[in-house]
Chains A and B, each alone.
Chain A
């Protein structure tokens, strides 16, 4: 029933048709030329532009990333430096304060010591002067007392005898 012989032997499947070849060529060339102008040109340029745009966007993004990383690194460096700086300042301030305190206390102590010693000196001086005064007073008093006693018991004859005996003694002893 299925006359496969017709398909193969009639040669109609492979029969040349110059008219169809002509029309195919003409149609295809016209379509090619029109589409090249109307469609492929704009589409391909758009595709290329987009490709370039995407590439440049990627490049820009990487660039921005690098920049951001550099900025971040710089910032953290700055931060670390600032931290160190503030630490140093605080430490210095503390040191200075300590030093100042010790200085002040030392100075105060020295001052106090000095005042104390001065006071002691003065006291000593006063004491010495008072003693001197006392001594002269006592000596005066003693002299006055002795004068009074001596004045009361003084006897010219008796004294003369004593002095004579003494001269006697001296002259005998020299011999």
Chain B
């Protein structure tokens, strides 16, 4: 209940931040001349995080909405707090030809990690001091619901026996993605999971864990044999490449699904807001942009949980497929073949 109110308040303040600049520029809208409409866009733009730098360097040119949206979505080394200014993030020297500068999304990742560490140290501490007869309260109770959900409905039902050793990874990845998604919805925040590099890294972790689990479950021979899918040797020339591609499509699907979902929601919200700027109309702002943006924002809250769940569940499913089920199928197929 409390958390819900906080989110409501977040949405409310975001709307206020959008509407207030509009009200201040009522005169320039009244004249509605093309020369004066540009400042109106600029003074309204601060409501959109990340639009400030774009607004400052092109005062006479009309701002392109696409640029502002992209600027908000994409990674860069400026953390902007529109009406108040911006923070330049430090650029680090290249290490082994890789630019490891701290960017906006890296900062968001660290913020998320900090939040995760704080919240779960508190929760873990509570559990350490608790005996089996006590019921958890407050944050511990809330987090327990999520953890127990991942434990039973995601890990246990998809992986089956031996799910315990994958639990720490699955719970961490669930909480990490969930917090990244939610932090991206906070004003001035950026969605780290809306960057394909972040989702790719997470998917690669799932891939590595899946392959290690498969190797452990079947051994190297079984792993290689699995690539033939138990078919006749004459078909191997077709089947083996398909199976190898299949290994990589799974993490690729994970990568793109999470990245696209998180990016799409933000693009929709920003596009809806920019409709009112493009059409220069209060009516559109009040009737279309703000209500629809709020609706999409609430939908994004749902999607934040949904995508974290889907990523975790598919990871568990892939691990489960790699360890138990395909082994049995392969075995059965082999038996049926002979």
Contact mask for chain B residues 258-288; partner A; CB cutoff 8 A; 1 contact, 0 none: 0000010001000100100010000000000
Alpha-carbon gap, A68 to B117, bound state (A): 50
B213 within 8 A of A: no
B99 within 8 A of A: yes
B22 within 8 A of A: no
Contacts of A20 in B (CB 8 A): 75, 103, 105-106, 195, 197-198
Binding stretch for chain A, among B59-67, B231-239, B316-324: B59-67
B15 within 8 A of A: no
Count of A residues near B, CB < 8 Å? 41
Contacts of A145 in B (CB 8 A): none
B154 within 8 A of A: no
* With contact pairs A19-B99, A42-B128 given, residues A31 and B168 touching in the complex (Cβ less than 8 Å): no
Cβ-defined contact, B99 with A35, below 8 A:
no
B124 within 8 A of A: yes
Interface centre among A4, A32, A40 (most CB of B within 10 A): A40
B16 within 8 A of A: no
B100 within 8 A of A: yes
Cβ-defined contact, B70 with A2, below 8 A:
no
Cβ-defined contact, A43 with B132, below 8 A:
no
Binding stretch for chain A, among B47-55, B143-151, B214-222, B293-301: B143-151
Contacts of B73 in A (CB 8 A): 13
B116 CB to closest chain A CB, in angstroms?
6
Number of A-B contacts (CB under 8 A): 144
Cβ-defined contact, B67 with A3, below 8 A:
yes
Binding stretch for chain A, among B181-189, B199-207, B328-336: B199-207
Chain B residue nearest to A53 in the complex (CB): B132
Cβ-defined contact, A36 with B110, below 8 A:
no
Cβ-defined contact, A46 with B66, below 8 A:
no
Contact mask for chain B residues 15-41; partner A; CB cutoff 8 A; 1 contact, 0 none: 000000000000000000000000000
Alpha-carbon gap, A35 to B175, bound state (A): 11
Alpha-carbon gap, A6 to B69, bound state (A): 10
A30 within 8 A of B: yes
Interface residues of B: mostly helix, strand, loop or mixed? helix
Alpha-carbon gap, A10 to B64, bound state (A): 15
Chain A residue nearest to B263 in the complex (CB): A13
B223 within 8 A of A: no
Alpha-carbon gap, A14 to B67, bound state (A): 16
B310 within 8 A of A: no
A18 CB to closest chain B CB, in angstroms?
4
Cβ-defined contact, B123 with A39, below 8 A:
yes
Contacts of B132 in A (CB 8 A): 46, 49-50, 53
Residue among B123, B164, B168, B201 making CB contact with A28, cutoff 8 Å? B201
Contacts of A170 in B (CB 8 A): none
A17 within 8 A of B: yes
Chosen A-B contacts, 19 in total, with CB atoms closer than 8 Å, are: A2-B271, A2-B278, A13-B70, A13-B74, A16-B197, A19-B101, A20-B75, A20-B195, A20-B198, A21-B201, A24-B197, A27-B110, A35-B116, A35-B124, A41-B124, A43-B124, A43-B143, A44-B147, A46-B127
B interface residues (Cβ-Cβ under 8 A, vs A): 64-67, 69-70, 73-75, 98-103, 105-106, 109-110, 113, 116-117, 120-121, 123-125, 127-128, 130, 132-133, 143-144, 147-148, 151, 164, 167-169, 171-173, 175-176, 192, 195-198, 200-202, 205, 263, 267, 271, 274, 278
Known: A27-B110, A28-B201, A44-B151. 20 other contacts (CB 8 A): A1-B64, A4-B66, A7-B69, A13-B263, A14-B196, A20-B195, A20-B198, A21-B201, A24-B197, A24-B198, A25-B205, A28-B172, A32-B169, A34-B117, A35-B124, A35-B171, A40-B172, A41-B124, A43-B123, A43-B147
